[in-house]
Amino acid sequence: MNLIIDVGNTFVKLAVFSEGNICYKEVIEHNLLLKQVRMIKSRFKSLQKGIVSSVGRLNNEHVSEIETITPLLKLNSKTNLPFKNKYKTPKTLGVDRIALVSASVKQFPDKNVLIIDAGTCITYDFINSQNEYLGGAISPGLRTRYKSLNNLTANLPLLELEKPKGIIGASTKASIHSGVVFGVLNEIDGMIDSYKLKYPDLTVILTGGDANFLSKQLKNSIFANSNFLLEGLNYILQFNSNE
């Protein structure tokens, strides 16, 4: 059994994989990490190894203690990966993006794949059928756009995510919802269309915290998978364990 720890900007995702399948998953606040890892160890006696990926705050003391519970692979730019990384600045490539690309290699080998992760940021990552990661794009996510409109203007309110009732906003709140949500939907559909011009046989994956909200509103056909990053981390762990 494998312990998967994904430390994000806001929350920590924990998962346990057994023979490639998720048998436990939980989203927690950062300060509960050690408590939950101890609970997982007591619950899953067959836990053998783990991996940690962090784009957010990660206490080094916590990592050291987790290492006393189970052997731990710390994902970084030097980790052996199941694809050819042709990114020009590999040291700046986020570990979350590395995990997503790894998941695509596992699930869609020898395919042209675009992975879209819709969270705090929206990241686009492309790997071609020759197993070469070429890069992608980064833009603000839905909630980041709402917060930016509130923080950078004097009079616009901070709103919670909501599906617009129509393209034409008849009030300030409705206009913000229309601008943010339809702006993101059109961006994603436009990105997919642009990639398809060069790679007609493109496979598209949508994941991240806002994947469910966005998936049914997109024009393009996509595979929605909220566990894609966790599956990628598990694959990286297996890949390094089998070397």
Tell me if 232 is assigned to a ligand binding site.
no
57 found inside a domain:
yes
pLDDT in tens, 47-72: 999 999 988 677 788 888 889 889 99
Tell me if 135 is assigned to a ligand binding site.
no
Range of the domain at 171: 84-232
Instruction: Report the half-sphere exposure of 3 (CA within 13 A, side-chain side).
Output: 30
Tell me if 68 is assigned to a ligand binding site.
no
Mark whether 163 and 114 lie in a shared domain. yes
This prediction's pTM: 0.92
Tell me if 228 is assigned to a ligand binding site.
no
Q: Distance between CA atoms of 154 and 144, rounded to whole angstroms?
A: 17
Give the active site residues: 96
Mark whether 67 and 178 lie in a shared domain. no
Tell me if 87 is assigned to a ligand binding site.
yes
| pLDDT at residue number 174 | 98
Number of domains in the chain: 2
Mark whether 136 and 199 lie in a shared domain. yes
Task: Indicate the residue among 74, 107, 129 that finishes a domain.
Answer: 74
Q: Which residues contact 231 (CB under 8 A, 6 or more apart)?
A: 22, 103, 106, 107, 225
97 found inside a domain:
yes
Cα separation of the two ends of the chain = 18
| pLDDT at residue number 243 | 56
- The vertex-13 CA angle with 5 and 127, nearest 5°, equals 75
Q: Spell out, as residue ranges, where the chain has pLDDT lower than 70.
A: 56, 243
Task: Indicate the residue among 41, 74, 107 that finishes a domain.
Answer: 74
Q: Distance between CA atoms of 2 and 24, rounded to whole angstroms?
A: 10
| pLDDT at residue number 11 | 86
Q: 18-23 long-range contacts, Cβ below 8 Å, gap at least 24?
A: 18/46, 20/234, 20/238, 22/227, 22/230, 22/231
Mark whether 59 and 111 lie in a shared domain. no
Mark whether 175 and 141 lie in a shared domain. yes
Mark whether 227 and 122 lie in a shared domain. yes
Mark whether 61 and 118 lie in a shared domain. no
27 found inside a domain:
yes
Read off the CATH number of the domain in which 168 is found.
Answer: 3.30.420.40
Tell me if 13 is assigned to a ligand binding site.
yes
